[in-house]
Structure formats: C-alpha cells, structure tokens
Structure 1
Amino acid sequence: MSRMLVDADAIRALADILTETGLTEIEIAEKDNRIRVVRGGSVVHTAAPAPIAAAPAGTPTPAAAPVDPAKHPGAVNSPMVGIAYLTPDPSAPPFVSEGQSVTAGQTIMLIEAMKTFNQIKAPRAGTLTRFLVTSGDPVEFGEALAIIE
C-alpha cells in the first residue's frame, strides 16, 4: 500500500494564492504528485449532456455557439495566474486603449502574481480591438486577456 505525503506548506501557499487572487480553484502537479485546492463549501457534480436528436429537414438550426475568445487568432493569453491591471497605477491612464495600434513588445497591461507586477506585452503589431478583462480582475493561466488584430 503506497502512502501519499502531504505538503502542508504547499497547500497553505496555494490557499493564500486563492485568497489573494479571488480564484476558487488551483492545482499544481509535479512528477507523480498533484495538489488541488478548491475554495467554497459546495461540491458540483457534472453529468454528461443528453444526446441531441438531429433536427428534421427544413427545420431552422439554432445559431452557432459563441466563439471562445481564447481561440481567436489574435488573442493575448495570460501566461500566469494573478490580478490584471490595465494601468501602471490607479491614477494613471491605461497602457493602451481599445482601438489603438500597438507594436510587438509594447506593454499592454500588468499581471500581479505573488506581489510582483509582470508586464504583459503585445506579441505582435496590430490594433488592440478589445480587452477581455478589466483592471482588478483575477485571471487564470491561458485565459484570453485581449484581442490584437
């Protein structure tokens, strides 16, 4: 019978990150060990959706589901978990405004992670058409932050 060792310090650190960022769940994995911390008292059970019958011929089909912004070819995705800020400080103007042209490498926002402010730079030149977050929003790894076209 194998025994799993619990790293209480790692669990406390993850719980602190949940509290700081407002996230409800975080998970880390290293080799054969995995720690998942979930905040909240309710357990959510999911079930497979019921199969959908094909619509009879001549019946209008429902509108297509909205496209996931993270899959947009111009999406700028978060490289980390943290809090997004669109300005260098609360009284300053934003780094970039929607509709503004940006150059590759230009700072478009900050993400605060573990009390460190990380610059998020435009990966390509183009026009920043839309922010998908607002200042103070918690963001997760891989989450779409903005669209540059």
Structure 2
Amino acid sequence: MSQMLVDADAIRALANILNDTGLTEIEVSEKDSRIRVVRAAAPVAAQAVAPVAVATPAAPAPAATPVPTAPADLSKHPGAVNSPMVGIAYLAPDPSSPPFVAVGQTVAAGQTLLLIEAMKTFNQIKAPKGGTLKQVLVTSGDPVEFGQPLVIVE
C-alpha cells in the first residue's frame, strides 16, 4: 500500500493564492498527484463575484462596476433563475454544440437552460416556468456562487 505525501508548503501557497485573488477553489495536478484547495465563500464574497473581476485585470473598474450590482439587483427579479449551487456554468452541452437556449427564445417549464458542474457532476438547471429568455447573466466557464442569478425568464 502506498503512502500519500502531503506538500504542506504547496497547500499554503495555493491557500495564499485563493486569498489574494478572491477565488473560492483552486486545483493543481502533476503526474500522479493532485492538490485541491477549497474555501467557503463569505456571504459578501458571493455578491462580489470576484473571479469575474480577476478574469479581466486589464480593466478592473469597468468589469467590477456592473458585475456586483447586477447580481444584487437581479437576484430578486421575479424571472431570475438563481444558481442552486457553487460550480462552473456551461451554456452548451459541449464546446462544439450550440447553447441550450438563446436570448429571445421561448422556453418551456422544465427545459434545460444551462449546466453547472460541481464536483465533476454536470447538473441541469431547468426553467422553473415557461416564458421568454430575456437575459443570460453568465458566460460558459464562469464560476458561479450559490444564489447568483444565471438567467432571466419572463
């Protein structure tokens, strides 16, 4: 039986990266080893959507201004479909396929709107009611937090 060696310095370095960037999860793999560090997001951090701001460091002011206010305002919207979990959003079943739905399209109750990958499992996010897709608030590959608005269906 092989014994797993833990690299405490690597874990500390990854934890520091999480703190410095505002991310909630980071994973590094090399050969046969893998280190994954996850931290619970603070309620305020869920509103800030820091990974989106980090993804655009060249223009932090324009990216940071609309993103934090949009989820706070739109999460209470009557047509908002909010994320039931933390994960990565995908608008299509795979990169070469068209998105599940497009803005302006009529959707039926129970129709798949997007996927959220959490713990290597792809979870279908379905329309809670029928209507027209008015807005898509995430892009494929975006990290999403619990309660974050994903789309607006009216």
Band the TM-score falls in, shorter-chain normalisation: 0.5 to 0.7
1:61-120 per-position Cα deviation (integer Å, ceiling 9, x unaligned): xxxx87701011100000000000000000000000011000000000000000000000
Gaps of 5+ in 2: 1-10, 19-23, 28-37, 43-68
Paired position in structure 2 for 1:93: 98
Q: Which has the larger radius of gyration?
A: 1
Q: Distance in 2 between matches of 1:118 and 1:76?
A: 14
Q: Tell me whether 1:104 sits opposite 2:109 in the alignment.
A: yes
Mapped partners of 2:89, 2:126: distance in 1: 13
Kindly provide the amino acid, as one letter, of the partner of residue 103 in structure 1: A
TM-score scaled to structure 1, two decimals? 0.59
Q: Give the match for residue 69 of structure 1.
A: 74
What amino acid is the match of 1:80? M
The letter of the residue matching 2:138 is: V
Supply the RMSD in Å over aligned alpha carbons.
2.6
TM, length-normalised to structure 2: 0.57
1:27 Cα deviation after fit: 5.1
Q: Which residue of 2 aligns with 1:7?
A: none
**Which residue of structure 2 lines up, in the alignment, with residue 26 of structure 1?**
40
Shift of 1:134: 0.4
Unaligned runs of 5+ in 1: 1-11, 29-64
Equivalent-residue separation in structure 2 for 1:69 and 1:79 (angstroms) = 15
How many residues get paired?
A: 97
Letter in 2 for 1:111: I
Report the equivalent of 2:48. Answer: none
Query: More helix by proportion, 1 or 2?
Result: 2
Structure 1 segments, 4+ long, off by >4 Å, are none
Structure 1 SS opposite 2:26 = helix
Query: What is the CA distance between 1:133 and its match in structure 2?
Result: 0.3
Structure 1 89/101 Cα, relative in aligned 2: closer, same or farther at 3 Å? same
Judged with a 3 Å threshold, the aligned counterparts in structure 2 of structure 1 residues 81 and 148 are, in CA distance, closer, same or farther, namely same
Q: Percent identity?
A: 67
Report the CA distance between 1:18 and its aligned residue.
1.0
Structure 2 counterpart of 1:146, from 142, 148, 151: 151
